[in-house]
Structure 1
Amino acid sequence: MPAAAAAKTRLKDVLRQFEGGKLEDRLRLAPALGHAKEKKAVDALINAFDIKRGNPRETAAIVEALGRAGDPRAVESLVGAMDYLRSMMLQMELPGHLQVLRWKILEALSRLGGEQTVGILSEALNDRDPRVVEEAVRGLGRLQVKAAVPALLELSRGASSGNLTQAVIEALGEIGDKRAVSVLEQALKTSDRFVEVEAAYALARLGRKEMYDKLADNLKGDPGAEKVGILAAYYLAKLGRSAGLDHLVGLMKRTDGGYASLAAEALGKSENPRAVLPLVEASRSEDSSLRLSVARSLGRLGGTRALSSLKRLRNDPNPGVRNAALASLAELGVLD
């Protein structure tokens, strides 16, 4: 059977199982439908999306899948869900699972883009929930919305160190607007080493090549207690610099302090395709916590070698590793 015909047959089977299956089946199959990026797959996800009556876990899985599918037709359903949650907030405090869903919807919308999405993300910058604000910041950075720069600069002045500060600085770097330079240069002078490293990364994104050396300076003597070198190495790997990649690969070989797992997670998030091979090699480690991180990271990076390694890890003796491998394979559209 030709590859195209076989793919259609597999999609048909997945759709049948998703639409007629139990909750656990739908949770397992939703990521694969998102990865398929086919009209019928997106239709099935939209039809199953019920913000009012759906199972919380299934609803969250569908939201994530719709974001990954990249089909702008999903925007209307996600915006409608966001409006529904906003109306609920006027009447009551949202339960935890619905608050989490707000974050996930913002992330999904930021992967779909469009004027409506930009408006919702911009409005969310004023939300009372810091996690919602953080996700809105990351979304505006992902979409490189230059009109958001003044609001992001204002947020940077009021934020202390932490996840929100990191999100703002990274977003300013991703947007690449020169209006951010003075604020980022000021951040370089802070006593907080994490903020300093974040600012160096953003300035490097803005074309300041001397920031590569500043990031590399933080690798010396690492790992220290703060683990700031892991962050610097992650940024260097994300920027395509060998120094960061090599540093993280070296940390994966350590057997103390949990550095190996942190390094593997950083490699996966770096989006650097050169990280796949060392992760594949680390997948044979005797350390199950490292294999778990590797399984997650290979799912983020994808590719032929990653798939081969994940198929082996789905038979791992550790159940956590097996589940992570299966989840990553589903994210990559592999269910057999």
Structure 2
Amino acid sequence: MSVSNLKYKEIMKKMRSEDEDERRYIANLLGEIKKEEGIKPLIHLLFDTSPAVQEAAADSLVKIGTKKVVREIIPLLRSEDASLRNIAVEILEGIGEKAIEPLSSLLQDKDHDIRKFACDILGNIGSSKAINSLIPLLNDQHINVACAAAEALGNIKNKKATQALIEALKGRKWLTYNAIEALGKIGDTRAIKPIAQFLFKDDPLISFASVKALGEIGDPEGAEYLLPLLGSDTFNKEVIKALAKIAKKNGKKKIFSFIKNKIKIDLLKKFLKDPDPEVRKSAIYLAGIIKDKKTVPLLIPLLSDNEQDIWEEVVKALLEINPELDYLTVELEEKIKQTLEIFLYDNDEKLRVAADRALRKLSRMAGEN
């Protein structure tokens, strides 16, 4: 049954069918037609008892995607039914920029829950057009709204919000936490020093957020503030992950001067055995930057790690430390060959060349034996 041979009145009739599949079909069909006359019937289907019908109706409303849809959906944010509110949120996020202006007007709503919903949706839409409307909400008297505004600005990831978020660091505890996270996502280097002042605060939650944010900003200046925390049992794992992120964003040579002689092999050994795979990967990556041959015996056992991305990272580090790979047993050579063959197709040209060179050498050695 096609749109062309199914009249609109018949569509409305079938919408009331007891057959769930037929109702779902109609919901999908209204999305294909994309006529505004279908908006109210589709909203009616959002209240259907079948989740499949509700989902089809929501998808069709997104396809129609006009401001009229937005106006009709916004009242559902006030519904007592949480699932219906969630559907409304998904529709508005799916429509995107056309929903920004109506949603921005909700930021002045008397109901703090509605203000928070609006912040959340605008943040997930991710358009910089919402920034000027969101910034004043950082001073909202309701802490959940202020935090939602900070989170939304972080999700938008536009540097226009940097200064306002730096000012928000001086405010309430939870707002400080969310502002730090947001600044990390935005990645503006102007935020490094203001964030760094929270590294040594009494509140570990704020300090953790600061370490992570400096890693996400990814500038070598942040590494200078992080290195003193390597001796901390509380933060050293997060610091290792942050330093690895900074290194990856800036290239090995640029970051080497910051970490040379500052990351001790004994400390690295501890991280290479950490149960957290992200900590292990970060430590492996940093071992490849330091290029100290003393780390080779520490890295070799990790070639037997259960996680493929761990031992692939190990091979990369070993290539950095000693491209000749002249310390391998026959068994390890076979495993490394498989990984090197994968690296031949990597986006990193330097890695491709190193892998090719190592494979050629291993092949020659095998021929000699």
Tell me the TM-score normalised to structure 1 length. 0.50
- Structure 1 match to 2:158: 145
Report the alpha carbon displacement of residue 135 of structure 1 after superposing the two structures with TM.
Answer: 0.7
Q: Is the 8 A contact 1:70 1:111 kept in 2?
A: no
Letter of the 1:136 partner, please give it: A
Provide the secondary structure at the position in 2 that maps to 1:157.
coil
Distance in 2, Cα, partners of 1:192 & 1:28: 46
Q: Is the 8 A contact 2:58 2:91 kept in 1?
A: yes
- Structure 1 match to 2:124: 111
Unaligned runs of 5+ in 1: 1-7, 222-227, 250-273, 275-336
- Structure 1 match to 2:197: 186
Letter of the 2:170 partner, please give it: R
| 1:133 and 2:146 aligned | yes
RMSD between superposed Cα atoms in Å? 4.9
- Structure 1 match to 2:335: none
Identify which of 2, 25, 28 aligns with 1:12: 28
| Identity fraction in percent | 20
Distance in 2, Cα, partners of 1:193 & 1:186: 13
Letter of the 1:71 partner, please give it: G
**Cα deviation digits, residues 174-203 of structure 1 (max 9, x gap):** 111111111121111112222111111111
Identify which of 181, 184, 193 aligns with 1:173: 184
Identify which of 180, 191, 212 aligns with 1:201: 212
Distance in 2, Cα, partners of 1:189 & 1:45: 49
Provide the secondary structure at the position in 1 that maps to 2:169.
helix
Report the alpha carbon displacement of residue 156 of structure 1 after superposing the two structures with TM.
Answer: 0.7
Q: Is the 8 A contact 1:31 1:65 kept in 2?
A: no
- Structure 1 match to 2:70: 46
Provide the secondary structure at the position in 1 that maps to 2:96.
coil
Seen in structure 2, the aligned counterparts of structure 1 residues 235 and 248 have a Cα distance that, compared at 3 Å, is: farther
* Highest RCO, 1 vs 2 (Cα 8 Å, sep ≥ 6): 1
Q: Is the 8 A contact 2:169 2:176 kept in 1?
A: yes
Unaligned runs of 5+ in 2: 1-23, 32-37, 249-270, 279-308, 310-369
Aligned length: 223
Identify which of 14, 17, 21 aligns with 2:45: 21
Distance in 1, Cα, partners of 2:244 & 2:89: 26
**Cα deviation digits, residues 109-149 of structure 1 (max 9, x gap):** 12224454112101211211111111111111111232222
Letter of the 2:130 partner, please give it: T
Q: Is the 8 A contact 1:72 1:112 kept in 2?
A: yes
Distance in 1, Cα, partners of 2:214 & 2:61: 35
Tell me the TM-score normalised to structure 2 length. 0.46
